[in-house]
Structure formats: C-alpha cells, structure tokens
C-alpha cells in the first residue's frame, strides 16, 4: 500500500492532516476531507460552550451523525447512540441524563444545540481511552441495554477490517441499506471509510435498486453494506443484476445470510457476499463467504474456547479479562473454523415448563407452509408464547382459501407432536416478512406493539405486508369489538371516528411519526363497515409533507379514506 493510501487513525481523522479525496457524498454534493474537518471544528466550538456532558445521537443521514460524533469526542463529551428515535427511546435516554441531538421529536430538542459556533474549536488528537460511545440497544427481549465502547476498541476493529479487505476495496465508495446507528453500520459505512480514505454516501438507501442505480451513476467502484433480510428480498426477475456485477464487495451482518441467497448473487456475476458474525457487545467475531463455505473463520486474534457445552470468547476488541461468555451454541473444528448451531439463551419457562424458542421455530419451519418463524414471549402477567410466521406461497394460498383459523390449527397440530399444549403459541401473526429495524434486525418494539393490541378494541389482524414507506393490513371486524355495541342497536356499524383512531394507531406503530396531529384532509366515509367484514387497511407515510394516507377497502371498493396531517410538537 502506498503512503498516500495509508489509513488515518480515528484519533486524527478530524485534524485535516491528510487532505485527500472526498470524504462523503451528501445532499447531492461531495465534501472533502478538509470540509469534514472544518465542520467538526465548527460543531465542536458549539459543544465546548455547553455544560451538558451526555448527548444521545440519532440522525437519518450518516454525515451529520459523523460530524456530531467527532465534535462531541473532541470536546470530551459522553456519546450515546440510539437504536431509533421513537418517543419511548427519547424518554429513556433523557432519564439517563442525555440531551438529544439529531432527528428526534421536536419537543425534545433545544435550539441552542443547533446554534453556530462563535469560534471553531482547535482540535488535537483524541484520547483512545477517554473517547467513548454507548450503544443503547433494545436487546432480544425488548429491554434496553447500554453497551459502552472506547475508541481503542473501534480503532482495533477498523485496523482488522482494513488489513482483511482494504487492498481489494482500494478507493471504492461505500453505499448502505443499513443504518449507522449500530456497531456494524457505524464501523462499515462511517469509521472504516473515514480511516481508509474512502468516500461514503450519507443517505441510507431504501432499496437495492436505488442503491445500485446510484452506484452506476457515480462512475466509481462501489461496495454495499447490507443485511441478510435485504439480500433475501432480491428478485430473480426484477433485480438489476448487471449493475450488481459492478460492485467490488457486498457485506452482510445482523443475522446469518442464507447460502442460497449468496449463491444466487454469485450466479448472476455479483461478488460473493461476505457474512459478518458478531454483536454490539463483542464487535466482529468471524466471517465467511456462504456461497462457498458454510463455516465461520475467526478474525485474527479472536479465540474461542469450549468450556463444557458453552464457549468463551477472547478478542482484541475487548478488555483482556474476563473472557466473554457467548450465547450461541458452537461446533468447533480442528482447522479453526466453526459452525453456529443456535442460541443458548432462548430457553424460557412457561408455567414451569422449559421451552426452547429456537426449537419451536425450527419445528414450524419444517412445514412447507412456513418460510420463516420467530417465537417470543408476551404478556405482563401470565407469560405466553407468540409466533410470527412468514408464509410460503403455498401457505399463503391456504390462508386465503381456508382462513386464518385453519392454518393456525394445522401448525398447532404439527407442534403438538413435539411440544406440550401448555407451551403452544397463544397468539399468531402472519406477515410477508419479519418486521425489521433500521439496523436490519427484528424490530422487537414493533412486535411488542402489535401483540399488545386488545382484540376488544382493535380488529383481528389476518395478514401484514410491509414495503418501504407503506403497509397493508388484512383485518377482520370481529363482532365482539366494543365499538359495535350501541352503534346502532339491531344494526351495528363501525363509527367513522374509530376508523380514524385505528389509522393513527397503526400509523404510529409502523412509521416514525414524531410530530403531533394537526388536521385531517379529504376524509371520506363511503360505505358502512359491519361486524365480520374483512377489509384491507392501506397506510403510507410521507415524511416530507407530514401526511399519513389511509384507505379501508374491501376487494371491490373503498369504505373510507383520507389523510392525517402532522406537524405540531408533541
């Protein structure tokens, strides 16, 4: 590697010591390394005047996030990285003493944090031990967990990535469909490119198609930072495979990438996807190319030791002691590679009966009706199991022909061969894909919200379909809904105001609606809704205009529609 391509230490990335190629593509323009350093210095000048010590960051765009992160580090502030910007997350972080920066509900932001610097801060190299950030993650149970990282840990991991893949990537630009608000996205699309002198795109692309078109337009070698769920949605006929072949690399993390998906990409001439195994707690542990190798190869310096049926991790990204106890079941091989066999920590008790949620998911996925299954606990008092099911085309056909109850009955019958009736799922959600957070992981907060919907107040959800910026819910208006009682005696119909309440409730569950309700537009109630009617609720959200569009319709006509406008502070 030539001297001009020598990586810059993270501690010196904002010092302007190596004015080289553009750092970022942001809002239609390229920003140079000098421009980045000046933006950090200006922002640091603001923070240097503030007595506040702890700040929580959430930015939709990666560039303002990176500028703010380095500005806070250079002024000795404590940085918290939020997994999302939902009101509950904001409240939790403020209880931790954090001021919020970025794209949060406006009621939580103070204007002084967006003020201009009177004097830019003079920047000096960062202290690798004193510069820290805390990831505030939801965890697999939905309970928030704080995970602190020091800059030396991030630097060590960036160095490993550069040694492993830097030469092959050369000066490729970085495009991503995953958020920078977690360890994988932060490292692969922000910190590693900054250190390696590669230009990163600030926006998070909403689809592979838009990412690939941008890569082609830029006339620059590119690589893609993705998640397994996004790669799985690549379509044999609709994906622009010729553009995929122009990518230098595809990285994936957040879950195991299916080997068939990896082979599909490689068969169309694309790069073999590189699967990364790790966590917020551990950083990267191992990697593989599942198109040709199902086993994982640990990163240099990473050691895994078997202790009975459990395994201990030693990593250069972690303090030297004590070793970290892995929650995954692992099969070690003599050549140093290993296989993942599932989680150890998904053993739960249902009324004193032990249950492996992983085993239940695997049993469900043996059905040719089930593509994916995710089981979890729910309930504040009596704990029960809920099953989220992604149906195959065959399973979806049975759902439409025979109904939800028949499909649930068949799946329960399959489970009863292995599991006692006491532990069988009590709630079932059918969907076209598992709901994912911006980090590409299962959106536990959304699932909790869906499971909490009271059947006396909300219609029975038959099927959920999600797309970028839109959602479609197949609903049955069960006769037991409270809103039918007394409206009207002998001829019950669903009140119009109830439809508006449902549209807003579901809208806030699926979309990041951070502002308060202002008004309604073109609301029309066209056809009455009766008990046991089956309807489809279409919802779409336009963040720029602050409008939530809704339409309740049957197979042949619309029953009600309109727009809810948001813009006031909550």
pLDDT band at 143 (very low <50, low <70, confident <90, very high): low
Nearest to 85 by CA among 107, 69, 63: 107
Q: With H, G, I as helix, E, B as strand and everything else as coil, classify residue 412.
A: helix
Question: Which residues does residue 67 pair with via DSSP β-bridges, in sequence order?
Answer: none
Nearest to 12 by CA among 131, 119, 116, 165: 131
For the beta carbon of residue 368, count every other beta carbon within 10 angstroms.
10
* 103 DSSP 8-state letter: S
> Can you tell me the distance from the alpha carbon of 134 to that of 547, in angstroms, rounded to the nearest whole number?
34
Q: Which residues contact 475 (CB under 8 A, 6 or more apart)?
A: 459, 460, 461, 462, 534, 535, 536, 537
Q: Is the pLDDT of residue 138 over 60?
A: no
Q: What angle do CA 222, 227, 230 make, to 5 degrees?
A: 90
> Can you tell me the distance from the alpha carbon of 58 to that of 42, in angstroms, rounded to the nearest whole number?
19
Terminal Cα distance for the chain, rounded = 53
Burial category of 484 from C-beta neighbours within 10 Å (exposed 0-12, middle 13-18, buried 19 and up): buried
Q: What's the residue count for the chain?
A: 570
Which tokens is 80 given?
A: 């918290």
Q: Which residues contact 38 (CB under 8 A, 6 or more apart)?
A: 16, 120
Q: Is the pLDDT of residue 110 over 90?
A: no
**Averaged over 472-495, what is the pLDDT?**
93
Which tokens is 256 given?
A: 């195991």
Confirm if 157 and 300 have CB atoms less than 8 A apart.
no
- Count CA atoms closer than 13 A to 53's CA, side-chain side: 4
Percent pLDDT > 70 in the chain is: 93
**Averaged over 210-223, what is the pLDDT?**
92
Q: What pLDDT shows up at residue 112?
A: 43
Please identify, in words, the CATH class of the domain defined by 11-291.
alpha beta
Which tokens is 266 given?
A: 């490689």
> Can you tell me the distance from the alpha carbon of 308 to that of 384, in angstroms, rounded to the nearest whole number?
31
**Averaged over 534-539, what is the pLDDT?**
97
For the beta carbon of residue 305, count every other beta carbon within 10 angstroms.
12
Q: What angle do CA 184, 66, 300 make, to 5 degrees?
A: 35
Nearest to 430 by CA among 380, 465, 454: 465
**Averaged over 209-232, what is the pLDDT?**
92
List the helix and strand counts (H, then E) for the chain. Answer: 16, 30
Burial category of 44 from C-beta neighbours within 10 Å (exposed 0-12, middle 13-18, buried 19 and up): buried
> Can you tell me the distance from the alpha carbon of 417 to that of 136, in angstroms, rounded to the nearest whole number?
40
Q: Is the pLDDT of residue 326 over 60?
A: yes
Which tokens is 530 given?
A: 């009766």
pLDDT band at 523 (very low <50, low <70, confident <90, very high): very high
Q: What angle do CA 69, 75, 80 make, to 5 degrees?
A: 40
Report pLDDT digits (tens) over 393-404.
999 999 999 999
Q: What pLDDT shows up at residue 113?
A: 47
Q: Is the pLDDT of residue 531 over 60?
A: yes
> Can you tell me the distance from the alpha carbon of 495 to that of 168, in angstroms, rounded to the nearest whole number?
62
Instruction: Give the CATH fold of the 347-568 domain.
Output: Thiol Ester Dehydrase; Chain A (3.10.129)
- Count CA atoms closer than 13 A to 80's CA, side-chain side: 25
> Can you tell me the distance from the alpha carbon of 209 to that of 263, in angstroms, rounded to the nearest whole number?
19
- pTM for the full predicted model: 0.74
Average per-residue pLDDT in the chain? Answer: 90
Question: Which residues does residue 100 pair with via DSSP β-bridges, in sequence order?
Answer: 56
pLDDT band at 570 (very low <50, low <70, confident <90, very high): very low
Q: Where are the alpha helices (DSSP H) in 55-138?
A: 62-73, 87-95
- Count CA atoms closer than 13 A to 506's CA, side-chain side: 30
* 505 DSSP 8-state letter: H
**Averaged over 238-267, what is the pLDDT?**
93
Q: Which residue do the tokens 């409206």 mark?
A: 487
What is the chain's Cα-based Rg?
25
So where are the chain's domains?
11-291, 347-568
**Averaged over 425-433, what is the pLDDT?**
94
**Averaged over 379-384, what is the pLDDT?**
74
Q: What pLDDT shows up at residue 156?
A: 97
Q: What pLDDT shows up at residue 368?
A: 95
3-state secondary structure 155-198: HHHHHHHHHHHHHHHCCCEEEECCCCCCHHHHHHHHHHHHHHCC
pLDDT band at 142 (very low <50, low <70, confident <90, very high): very low
The H or E element that residue 57 is part of is: strand 54-58
Q: What pLDDT shows up at residue 115?
A: 54
Q: What pLDDT shows up at residue 392?
A: 95
Confirm if 156 and 316 have CB atoms less than 8 A apart.
yes
């Amino acid at each position: 590697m030539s001297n001009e391509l020598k990586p810059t230490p993270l501690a010196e990335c904002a010092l302007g010591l190596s004015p080289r190629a553009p750092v970022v593509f942001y809002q239609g323009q390229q920003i140079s390394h000098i421009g980045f350093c000046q933006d950090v210095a200006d922002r640091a000048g603001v923070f240097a005047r503030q007595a506040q010590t702890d700040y929580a960051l959430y930015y939709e765009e990666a560039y303002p996030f990176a500028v703010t992160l380095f500005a806070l580090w250079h002024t000795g502030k404590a940085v918290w990285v939020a997994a999302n910007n939902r009101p509950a997350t904001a409240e939790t972080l403020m209880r931790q003493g954090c001021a919020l920066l970025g794209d949060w509900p406006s009621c939580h932001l103070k204007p002084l944090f967006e003020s201009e610097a009177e004097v830019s801060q003079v920047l000096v190299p960062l202290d690798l031990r004193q510069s820290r950030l805390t990831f505030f993650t939801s965890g697999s149970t939905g309970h928030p967990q704080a995970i602190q990282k020091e800059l030396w840990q991030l630097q060590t991991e960036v160095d490993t990535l550069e040694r492993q893949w830097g030469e092959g990537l050369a000066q490729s630009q970085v495009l991503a469909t995953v958020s920078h608000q977690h360890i994988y996205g932060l490292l692969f699309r922000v910190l590693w490119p900054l250190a390696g002198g590669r230009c990163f795109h600030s926006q998070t692309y909403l689809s592979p198609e838009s990412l690939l078109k941008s890569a082609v337009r830029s006339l620059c070698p590119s690589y893609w930072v993705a998640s397994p769920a996004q790669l799985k949605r690549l379509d044999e006929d609709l994906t622009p495979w010729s553009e995929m072949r122009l990518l230098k690399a595809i990285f994936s993390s957040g879950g195991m990438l299916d080997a068939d998906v990896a082979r599909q990409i490689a068969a169309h001439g694309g790069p073999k996807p590189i699967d990364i195994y790790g966590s917020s707690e551990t950083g990267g542990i191992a990697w593989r190319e599942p198109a040709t190798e199902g086993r994982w190869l640990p990163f240099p310096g990473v050691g895994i030791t078997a202790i009975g049926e459990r395994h201990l991790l030693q990593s250069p990204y972690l303090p030297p002691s004590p070793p970290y106890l892995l929650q995954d079941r692992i099969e070690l091989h003599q050549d140093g590679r290993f296989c993942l066999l599932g989680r150890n920590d998904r053993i739960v008790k249902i009324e004193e009966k032990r249950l492996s949620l992983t085993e239940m998911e695997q049993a469900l996925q043996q059905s040719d009706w089930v593509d994916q299954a995710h089981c979890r606990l729910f309930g504040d008092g009596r704990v029960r199991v809920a099953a989220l099911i992604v149906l195959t085309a065959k399973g979806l056909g049975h759902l439409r022909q025979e109904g939800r109850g028949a499909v649930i009955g068949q799946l329960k019958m399959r489970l009863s061969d292995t599991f006692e009736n006491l532990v069988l799922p009590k709630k079932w959600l059918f969907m076209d894909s598992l709901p994912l957070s911006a980090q590409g992981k299962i959106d536990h907060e959304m699932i909790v919200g869906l499971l909490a919907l009271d059947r006396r107040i909300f219609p029975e959800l038959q099927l959920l379909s999600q797309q970028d910026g839109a959602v479609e819910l197949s609903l049955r208006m069960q006769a037991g809904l409270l809103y039918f009682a007394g409206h009207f005696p002998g001829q019950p119909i669903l009140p119009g105001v109830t439809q508006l309440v449902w549209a807003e409730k579901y809208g806030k569950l699926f979309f990041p609606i951070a502002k308060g309700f202002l008004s309604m537009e073109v609301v029309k109630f066209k056809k009455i809704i009766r008990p046991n009617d089956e309807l489809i609720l279409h919802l779409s959200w336009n963040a720029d205009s602050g409008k939530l569009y809704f339409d309740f319709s049957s197979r042949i006509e619309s029953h009600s529609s309109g727009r809810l406008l948001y813009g006031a502070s909550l």
